[in-house]
């Protein structure tokens, strides 16, 4: 059966490529497009390049895994594939690029903020104008800056990777900016980023009207109801205004950045300060910032302030609700307060249920419980002992009602309101009515802690007595262990003496017999004498090898290893040279007595050394297991093999197999040899329980 592999069509236009990329199902598809490069992005990235391209069908965006150097305006044939990037986004990746010709960089298309959401403009080179109202740094990638613009058609955002110079100098200036329209996000982890411009560098920002050197020279708003017809403008039109100034008197300062003013004409105005120290309650100040609204009052964002002159201060009058507090009952109506008392001075009582951790965290409010409602109290303007008010105290607070609401969002019909914060003006606005009783939860906890300490003391005392008893018991135990170790040393010496007598002494006796035989035959049969001396030489070499192994056994710690396979491998390795070992010994060390374990290690070593030395084996496999009838082990090799019936023995100076058989006989084991010349050797050993 012949399998048919489908051939994917090669994409040839920018529109086809853009549709394939955003469909999310064309991974691996190829493209080959003749196009014009409209913008080169990520110029400073050492790892890759990115380009906005355009042909007669439309525009799209593609990346290259290699850094290419293609200037805008070049006519290029680009080939590549659709793949997945490090953020799991589908992209068009350039594999090769052939420059067909060079031309002038294309002119950007002028658009408005309202047109920036048009999907047909995605990846097009465009230019936009507006007033810079703020600069925001990306928390995920600090290299990226988001420049917030206001324009007559609405706000918009430009994203730029700016590291060379600060962009804050642009705030307040009217700017013309050129970039690639990013209707759907192409990079990063912000999958739902609003439409924006991707700007190549700071050089793409062109200042048409510089920011005022003196922000307080901005047009002044004297009366929100009449001046500049603000009341008759939409919230979007308010948000599109440039820098404005208001003069007023500070009613409240919250969290060090949020202030409330009574401005000329009697209206309320809020302000969110930039990184400047706040004024004091009651100060007459000028505030310059960018207008926004929460649908209740005008707010100036990114604002700065300065003190007014005495003449200017005299023009600002406070209302009665700014100086005479209105008492609120415990069961006050939240809806009435939010509707009618915003910015007013009120007095209420409550129980302290949460306090700031310390005075350095003055931006954290105190929390009061008032008739079952939770009211935050901002003590930024209070610098005295109010921060030491204990939990559970009943206090009376006079302060300004600051409604907690966000600025208008075009996607919300109304900004969300989350109650209000009460803002005292000074330490004198806080009065402690009643402190909690002496028997507080904290003191109860102290008493409980003291009782626990006594319990711990007696517990430690008992542990000390137990430790003394344990130490004395340990001393007795050590003396018993020393006695056992002495007995073990005696047993080891006895074993070693037997080992030397059985292995070495008998071997030396055999050497003596061979030398005597050589001496007797020397005058008459020199060839027989030579054979005897050769056997004696091999016997001495075997004796030396046995002595070396005895010394190694005395120094080795293999007998004490928990992993018996590791002990077998370590014992065998030191005598097998370059042969490859494979050890699979499925017997735990605690299942063997010391004498049996020692005998097995010696037998396996003898068999493996014979395989490497005499059999010239390249691979040696050692296996072992424990069954119901006893221990079974085998040593197999791929050496030259031999005839078991005609194998040389002690008479010829070969003691290896004979020594292994004698060790087996001592522990009740048997040996079976399977071998033939040229076919390797397998020795099977069985040791009964």
Rg (CA), the chain: 47
- Predicted TM-score (pTM) of the model is 0.55
Q: CB count, 10 Å around CB of 379? A: 27
Q: What is the pLDDT of residue 177?
A: 94
Q: What is the mean pLDDT of each run of 10 residues along the chain (689 residues)?
A: 49 90 80 92 71 92 82 92 82 90 90 88 92 84 84 86 75 91 66 80 88 87 59 68 89 90 87 87 92 84 91 87 90 88 92 77 80 88 76 91 77 74 90 82 83 90 88 82 65 57 60 67 70 67 61 57 79 78 83 79 82 84 85 88 71 61 79 86 84
The correct answer on CATH 2.40.50.140 for the domain covering 109-209 is yes
CATH of the domain spanning 556-688? 3.30.565.10
CATH of region 212-318: 2.40.50.140
- Torsion angle in degrees (nearest 10) through CA of 226, 228, 232, 234: -140
Rounded distance between C-alpha atoms, residue 484 and residue 474, angstroms: 15
Contacts of 389 (CB under 8 A, 6+ apart): 352, 355, 366, 395, 430, 432
Same fold, 109-209 and 212-318: yes
Instruction: Dig out the tokens for 350 from the structure.
Output: 């409550």
Helix (H) or strand (E) holding 515: helix 506-521
Residue 213 pLDDT = 86
Q: How far apart are CA 363 and CA 256, in angstroms?
A: 7
- Specify whether the CB–CB gap between 598 and 558 falls below 8 A: no
Rounded to whole angstroms, the Cα distance separating 581 from 594 reads: 24
Q: Which helix (H) or strand (E) holds 222?
A: none
| Angle formed at CA 587 by CA 583 and CA 593, multiple of 5 degrees | 120
Superfamily the domain 14-101 falls into: Nucleic acid-binding proteins (2.40.50.140)
Task: Tell me the C-alpha distance between 214 and 455, whole Å.
Answer: 71
> Cα dihedral sign for 157, 158, 163, 166?
negative
CA distance 596 to 513: 32
DSSP β-ladder status, 196-199 and 174-182:
antiparallel
Short-list 39, 208, 56, 154, CA closest to 108:
39
Tokens representing 548 are 């070396």
**Per-residue pLDDT at 328:** 92
CATH class of 325-435: mainly beta
Instruction: Give Cα 82 to chain centroid, integer Å.
Output: 29
Question: Hey, where are the domains in the chain?
Answer: 14-101, 109-209, 212-318, 325-435, 437-552, 556-688
Helix %, strand %, coil % for the chain, to 5?
A: 35, 30, 35
- Per-residue HEC secondary structure of 44-91 comes to CCCCCEEEEEEECCEEEEEEECCCCCCCCCCEEEEEEEEEECCCCCEE
Token look-up 């016997």 returns: 539
């Amino acid at each position: 059966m012949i399998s048919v592999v489908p051939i994917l069509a090669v994409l040839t236009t920018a529109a086809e490529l853009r549709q394939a990329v955003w469909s999310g199902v064309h991974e691996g598809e190829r493209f080959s497009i003749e196009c014009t490069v409209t913008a080169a992005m990520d110029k400073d990235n050492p790892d890759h390049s990115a380009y906005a391209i355009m042909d007669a069908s439309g525009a799209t965006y593609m990346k290259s895994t290699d850094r290419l150097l293609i200037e805008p305006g070049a006519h290029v044939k680009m080939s590549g594939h659709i793949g997945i990037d490090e953020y799991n986004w589908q992209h068009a990746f350039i594999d090769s690029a052939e420059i067909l010709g060079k031309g002038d960089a294309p002119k950007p298309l002028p658009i408005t903020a309202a047109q920036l959401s048009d999907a047909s403009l995605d990846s097009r080179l465009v230019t936009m104008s507006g007033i810079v109202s703020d600069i925001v740094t990306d928390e995920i990638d600090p290299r990226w800056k988001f420049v917030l613009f206001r324009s007559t058609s609405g706000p918009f955002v430009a994203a730029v990777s700016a590291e060379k110079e600060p962009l804050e100098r642009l705030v307040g200036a009217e700017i013309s900016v050129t970039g690639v329209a990013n209707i759907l996000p192409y990079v990063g982890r912000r999958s739902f980023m609003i439409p924006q411009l991707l700007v190549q560098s700071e050089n793409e920002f062109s200042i048409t009207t510089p920011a005022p050197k003196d922000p307080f020279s901005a047009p002044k708003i004297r009366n929100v109801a009449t001046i500049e017809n603000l009341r008759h403008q939409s919230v979007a039109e308010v948000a599109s205004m440039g820098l404005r100034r208001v003069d007023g008197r500070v009613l409240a300062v919250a969290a060090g950045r949020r202030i409330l003013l009574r401005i000329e004409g009697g209206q309320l105005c809020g302000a969110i300060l930039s990184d400047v120290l706040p004024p004091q309650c009651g100060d007459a100040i000028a505030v310059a910032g960018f207008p926004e609204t929460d649908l209740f009052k005008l707010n100036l964002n990114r604002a700065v302030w300065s003190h007014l002159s005495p003449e200017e201060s005299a023009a600002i009058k406070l209302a009665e609700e700014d100086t005479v507090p209105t008492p609120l009952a415990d069961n006050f109506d939240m809806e009435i307060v939010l509707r009618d008392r915003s910015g007013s001075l009120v007095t209420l009582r409550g129980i302290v249920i949460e306090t700031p951790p310390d005075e350095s965290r003055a931006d954290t409010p105190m929390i009061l419980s008032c008739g079952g409602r939770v009211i935050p109290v901002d003590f930024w303007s209070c610098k005295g002992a109010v921060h030491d008010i204990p939990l559970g105290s009943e206090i009376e607070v006079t302060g300004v009602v600051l409604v907690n609401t966000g600025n208008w969002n075009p996607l919300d019909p109304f900004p969300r309101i989350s109650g209000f914060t009460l803002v005292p003006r000074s330490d004198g606005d806080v009065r402690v009515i009643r402190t909690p009783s002496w028997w507080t939860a904290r003191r109860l906890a102290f008493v409980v802690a003291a009782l626990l300490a006594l319990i711990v003391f007696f517990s430690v005392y008992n542990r000390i007595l137990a430790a003394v008893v344990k130490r004395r018991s340990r001393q007795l135990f050590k003396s018993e262990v020393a006695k056992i170790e002495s007995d073990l040393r005696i047993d080891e010496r006895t074993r070693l003496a037997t080992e030397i007598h059985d292995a070495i002494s008998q071997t030396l006796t055999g050497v003596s017999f061979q030398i005597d035989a050589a001496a007797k035959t020397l005058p008459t049969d020199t060839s027989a004498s030579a054979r005897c001396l050769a056997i004696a030489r091999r016997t001495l070499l075997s004796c030396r090898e046995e002595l070396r192994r005895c010394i190694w056994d005395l120094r080795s710690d293999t007998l004490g290893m928990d992993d018996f396979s590791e002990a077998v491998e370590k014992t065998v390795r030191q005598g097998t040279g370059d042969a490859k070992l494979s050890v699979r010994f499925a017997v735990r060390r605690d299942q063997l007595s010391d004498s049996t374990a020692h005998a097995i290690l010696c037998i396996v070593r003898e068999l493996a050394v014979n395989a490497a030395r005499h059999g010239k084996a390249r691979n040696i496999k050692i296996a072992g297991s424990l069954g119901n009838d006893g221990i079974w082990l085998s040593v197999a090799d791929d050496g030259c093999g031999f005839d078991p019936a005609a194998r040389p023995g002690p008479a010829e100076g070969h003691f290896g197999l004979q020594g292994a058989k004698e060790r087996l006989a001592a522990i009740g084991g048997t040996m079976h040899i399977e071998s033939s010349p040229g076919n390797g050797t397998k020795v099977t050993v069985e040791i009964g329980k």
